[in-house]
Every structure is written in C-alpha cells, then in structure tokens.
Structure 1
Amino acid sequence: MANKVPTNIITGFLGVGKTTAILELLKNKPEGENWAVLVNEFGEIGIDGAMMTDQGALIKEVPGGCMCCTAGVPMSVGINALLRQKPDRLLIEPTGLGHPKQVIATLTSSQYQPYVDLKATIGLLDPRNLSIEKYTQNQNFNDQLASADVIIGNKVDQCTVHDVDEFNDWVTNQTPSKVFSKLVQNGSIPIEVLDIERMYDGASSQIEPHHHAHAEQEPQFELPPGEKYIRKENKGQGYFSCGWLLGAEYSFDFDELFSMLSALTAERVKAVVNTNKGCYAFNVANGVVSVNELSLEGFESRLEVIDSQLMPWNDLESILLKLAGIEL
C-alpha cells in the first residue's frame, strides 16, 4: 500500500452510543471516500455490523468478547481483510467491555506500522456515569477513558447541570490532559476530530489474566441448513450475554417487539429485526428504546442481551420465538 490508512479507535463503555456515533460519522464522511469499520462485540451474535451495513461502509465483525484475545488473531483477520480493500479511513469499535490498550498495541506494532496511520483514540462518555460508582469503580470503564486522546461527552440532552459540571471537572483534572473534549448529543462527533494526532504511547501488549480466548476464526452467522434459529451465550468481566439469530423468513410484529424490549430490565439490548413494518434496528440503553429503520431485505433477524446478572434466557427465548411465530 502506497499510503497508510488513517485509523481511529472509538471506545467507550456499554450503552454510551459508540455505534450511533459511527453511524453519524458514516453519514457525514466526504463524498467519494470509502470507509471501513471493524466492529467488536461482547456477545456472540453480530448486531452492530448489521446496523452499519445500511450506510455502505466496508464492515467486518469480531464477536464473542474482546478482539485482542487469542493473541490478536480475530482482530488481525478482520483488519487484514479490510486493508486489502484499500479504504480511505478505518474506524475500529472495540466492545464496551473491551481493553483499548491492547488494540492500540496491535495497531502500533511492526506488523501494521507500514499500513496503518493510527490517529487519536476517541473515548465516548455518558456524563451521568461519572456520578455512579458502578461505572467509576469499573476497571474497563477507567481504562477506556485513560486510553483516549479525545473525550466526547455524549447524550448531553439527557444530562442535568450537575452531570455537565461533573464532566467538565473530570476533563479539567485529567493528567495528562486530553487533546480535545466536547459535549454532544446523538453521537455527533465533529468529523475533523478524526484527524487529530495520537498523543499517548503507553499501550500495554499484555492481556490481563482474566481475559479469555473466544473466536479463533472469522465469525460465521449463517444458520445451518434446516435450522430455524440459533442461540449463543458468552460471559466474562462480570457480564453475561445471550444472542439469537433467526431465519429471514420469520417476522416480528413491530409493536409487540417494542413492548417486549421496553419491559426488559437488561443493561444493554441490541437487535436488527424483520418486522411487519420493515427491517428495524432496536437499541436499548438506560431503559430507553431507540429505533431506526433500515433498508435491508431478506435479512436474518438477530438480537443480543447483555446484563451483569445471569438472566432467565430460556424464558426470554420462549417469548422471542412466540413473537416470531416459530413453533418448536
């Protein structure tokens, strides 16, 4: 490759709005440019990539935990596949439970230095979380923010004056100082932020002892012949996930599905689903359900639930299959 590909890591904890931010960036990218996105999810069923496919970007997914596991094999497979397509920019979204320092270490290694121009790491933060011990005492939450050159306080429209003050105080007290910070809503990262140079080199290449090896090859989400659906579970770092992939021939009643998702108490829910009103992306965070229509057709529906408590997956599955009209 004659030119290095400008690359940004966009990190942040569960529910902070990383996928929404990337979708906004894709909508506002320079006309004629071809962008690529590597998506990592804690769950075993890929959701974010399905949401982004509608924006015409090159997408690769690494499901099933942190992409740096198994000595970086899953991440390297995804990056290599995207770089071969010579994108004008590469965005990398680690899981909300991931460790960005290892991702930085991989991208700055001798393997990728000739091909990747790693720019500023962008950390998304919900200012409300700075007042909640559950987040401020979480090592991943702190690691993600410490690794970021740029801090974007997202969801400011849902924040109180106290939340905004906490964010501003937090940014002011950071050592070393952050290069740039801004409060936004709906994940509206200023596109010029992507070209800010990376400042911090303190990336560790060591994987923490509690890290697990997950996917050892490229993910395959297609249903086996004759199967109506598949279910996959994952756990680690104090969280549990369960995901379902359902055949494209099955459709949900939009209103019934919305009601079910609204009633779920899980910390994080994502879905891309065929409904009687078309294909929709559902995103649940902090008890709020957001919906976006997609132009996908003939797509396999998928849903992922993440929570810090082990949930009654069998009961949830029964409800989900009933809504989809799947008889067992």
Structure 2
Amino acid sequence: MLKQKPADEKWAVLVNEFGQVGIDGAIFAASGAIVREVAGGCLCCAMGLPFQVAVNRLLTEVNPDRLLIEPTGLGHPKRVLDMLDGGYFRTVLDVRASICLVDPRKLGDSRYTSHENFVDQIALSDVLVANKTDLADKNAIESFKRWAEGNRPRKTVVAQTVQGQLEVAWLNLTRNLERRASFPDAHQTGSIHLPDETTLKNKDQLKSITADGYQSYGTVFPEHNCFDYEHLQELLSQLEAERIKAVFATNKGWFIFNAVDGVMTIVPCKLSANSRIEIIATQNNWQDILLALNRCTVSSCSDLN
C-alpha cells in the first residue's frame, strides 16, 4: 500500500502490536513512512488512551491526507471503530472501508473460526482478502469463497492475493455502517495482563505480555550489536513459535525476519535504530532464547552503517 501512495499525498501509519517491543513500526519506518506505534496490547483494551493520544498527535503534528490504522490480530475491530466514530474524532476523520486479510488455510481450524476476534474482524470488514493463496489448496480456497459469500451485508470487495498485494483504490471505498459484530461485548473489560517486575529475570532486556492465551516476549538490543547472519538464520528457523518478527543488523546487512506457520521469510531492509525481536508462542524458555541470540553476535557491523 505504501508503495502505491500518490506523490502529492502525505500518509501516516498508526501500528498496534501485541508485544511491547515495536517491530512493525521499525519496518514501516525503514520504508520511509510516517509512523506512530502503540505497543503492549490491543488498541481496544488497556491501550485505549495511548491509541487516542497517538491519533491526536498524528493529526496535529503530521496532518496527513490519509491515516492507515493497522491493529494487532488480537484486537477487536468494533472497539477500534467505536473510538473513531465518537467524540472529537468524528468531526475530523472520514472513516473509510475496513480491509481484512485472511489466511484461507485457517478456515478449517476451529481455534480461529470460533474465536470472537477472528469472526468479527471478518464480519466488520468491507474488503475481505484471501492472502497466501499460493500456499492454500483448492479446498481452502473454496472454504474462503463460501465464508465470504455467507457474510451479510455482502462484502464490497472479495479478492484473492499473495504476499499481501492490495489495491490502493480499496482505501477510498465507503464504509458500510450496517455491518454488525457477532460479539459486540468482546473486550469490554480487556484481557491484557502485564507482568510485574518479579516475573522477569532480566526486565531491562526482556519484555513480556500475555493476552487471549498467547504470550509474547521481545527485546531491543544495544545499538552496536551485530549478528552473524548464518547462525541467526539457523537459530530462528529452529524456534517453535506462533510468530517471529525481527529486524537485525548482521554481518551481511540489515534484514527483516518474519516467520509464521513454520515458514520464514528474510528480506533486506534499510538501517534501523536497533536490532529487535518479538516472539509469540506458548513455550516459556525465553531466557535460553535470549542467551542463544547473544551467542550469535559478532564483533562489528560498523562497515554496514
């Protein structure tokens, strides 16, 4: 989407992440976007006030022509939309279509199809896109089509894509106010559990957060840290996790590491302020992982800066 921005428009991105260490913000910033982050939970729960502050700051300081809001996958869209529809925001924002990307392979898994966030993210979306269709079989694609067809009101756009390739014209589509959440009371009291200091053995390096049964740990490394690319790739590919997102300075350059469902993609990126990583999983051997990451460091990346 950012690559399709018209040259005469100013765009800003508000990105929300489940974990406390911002990874997506670093990735977007490396692409040259104007970015603000709300980390450490979902926009619609405990993060409500920081979300409103972040939006206000973007509107005041940046005055963008378009504001893209990218919430965590654990966020409930009704609460986000309610905040945008209320009070001051209602007078200054023209909220357009909501776009939802779905991995069609997940439609055969009751952990997703019975989850209130998953269901309502689809229900409240105006544009529903099956992503990763190159990895899905015929049955998964047919399930997606049936799921999309069964939604009422009908979706404004139903599409299929790979690598998250979206049409910039979808951003101008009108939002359908008749869409309703199946779980309107979701997240009314919030489900975010922040650890106290005694929970962490090394609270200066390791930050954790738990929500909806998922646990996220992350860390930001010192600015001078440089990592051996081969050792780092081998380590991250062996970790059992729901999701791994990271930006690392290596002896081969700066790279974004992104792993989900056991598949890792590695792409080069521009210089970032620090190397950082966020891991979402059910296991609890974070100290061992941190030690292993530190063993992947090498003497210097100074020639890459």
2:21 is matched with which residue: 45, 52, 57?
45
Q: What one-letter code is carried by the residue in structure 2 that aligns with 1:312?
A: N
Q: Please, which moves more after superposition, 30-39 or 316-325?
A: 316-325
Q: Report runs of 4+ in structure 1 exceeding 6 Å deviation.
A: none
| Cα distance, 1:71 vs structure 2 | 7.0
Q: Residue in 2 aligned with 1:303?
A: 277
| Cα distance, 1:210 vs structure 2 | 4.4
Q: Residue in 2 aligned with 1:219?
A: none
Q: Residue in 1 aligned with 2:207?
A: 232
| Cα distance, 1:325 vs structure 2 | 5.3
2: CA distance, partners of 1:302 / 1:187? 23
Q: What one-letter code is carried by the residue in structure 1 that aligns with 2:275?
A: S
| Cα distance, 1:59 vs structure 2 | 0.3
2: CA distance, partners of 1:195 / 1:143? 22
Matched, 1:124 2:85: no
Q: What one-letter code is carried by the residue in structure 2 that aligns with 1:199?
A: N
Q: Residue in 1 aligned with 2:302?
A: none
Q: Give unmatched runs, 5+ long, in structure 1.
A: 1-24, 215-226
2: CA distance, partners of 1:71 / 1:164? 35
Aligned CA RMSD, in angstroms, stands at: 2.1
Q: Residue in 2 aligned with 1:106?
A: 83
Structure 1 314/213 Cα, relative in aligned 2: closer, same or farther at 3 Å? closer
Q: How high is the sequence identity, in percent, across the aligned residues?
A: 39
1: CA distance, partners of 2:283 / 2:30? 32
Counterpart secondary structure, 2:91: coil
Q: Residue in 2 aligned with 1:183?
A: 160
Counterpart secondary structure, 1:241: strand
Conserved? CA contact 1:102–1:205, under 8 Å: no
Matched, 1:209 2:197: no
| Cα distance, 1:211 vs structure 2 | 2.6
1:88 is matched with which residue: 54, 57, 65?
65
Q: What one-letter code is carried by the residue in structure 2 that aligns with 1:304?
A: E
Conserved? CA contact 1:38–1:79, under 8 Å: yes
Q: What one-letter code is carried by the residue in structure 1 that aligns with 2:215?
A: F
Q: Residue in 2 aligned with 1:30?
A: 6
Superposition map of 1:1-328 within 5 A: 25-70=1-46, 72-84=48-60, 85-200=62-177, 202=180, 207-212=187-192, 230-296=205-271, 299-307=273-281, 309-324=282-297
| Cα distance, 1:175 vs structure 2 | 1.8
1: CA distance, partners of 2:86 / 2:250? 45
2: CA distance, partners of 1:178 / 1:62? 29
| Cα distance, 1:256 vs structure 2 | 1.1
| Cα distance, 1:169 vs structure 2 | 1.0
2: CA distance, partners of 1:152 / 1:167? 9
| Cα distance, 1:118 vs structure 2 | 0.4
Structure 1 53/113 Cα, relative in aligned 2: closer, same or farther at 3 Å? same
Q: TM-score, normalised by structure 1?
A: 0.83
Conserved? CA contact 1:106–1:205, under 8 Å: no
Structure 1 169/159 Cα, relative in aligned 2: closer, same or farther at 3 Å? same
| Cα distance, 1:140 vs structure 2 | 1.5
Conserved? CA contact 2:38–2:47, under 8 Å: no
> Which is bigger in relative contact order (C-alpha 8 A, separation at least 6)?
1
Q: What one-letter code is carried by the residue in structure 1 that aligns with 2:283?
A: L
2: CA distance, partners of 1:160 / 1:264? 26
Q: What one-letter code is carried by the residue in structure 1 that aligns with 2:24?
A: D
Conserved? CA contact 1:68–1:74, under 8 Å: no
Q: What one-letter code is carried by the residue in structure 1 that aligns with 2:279?
A: V
Q: What one-letter code is carried by the residue in structure 2 that aligns with 1:242?
A: Y
1: CA distance, partners of 2:40 / 2:51? 12
Conserved? CA contact 1:122–1:149, under 8 Å: yes
2: CA distance, partners of 1:197 / 1:213? 36
| Cα distance, 1:260 vs structure 2 | 1.1
Counterpart secondary structure, 1:61: strand
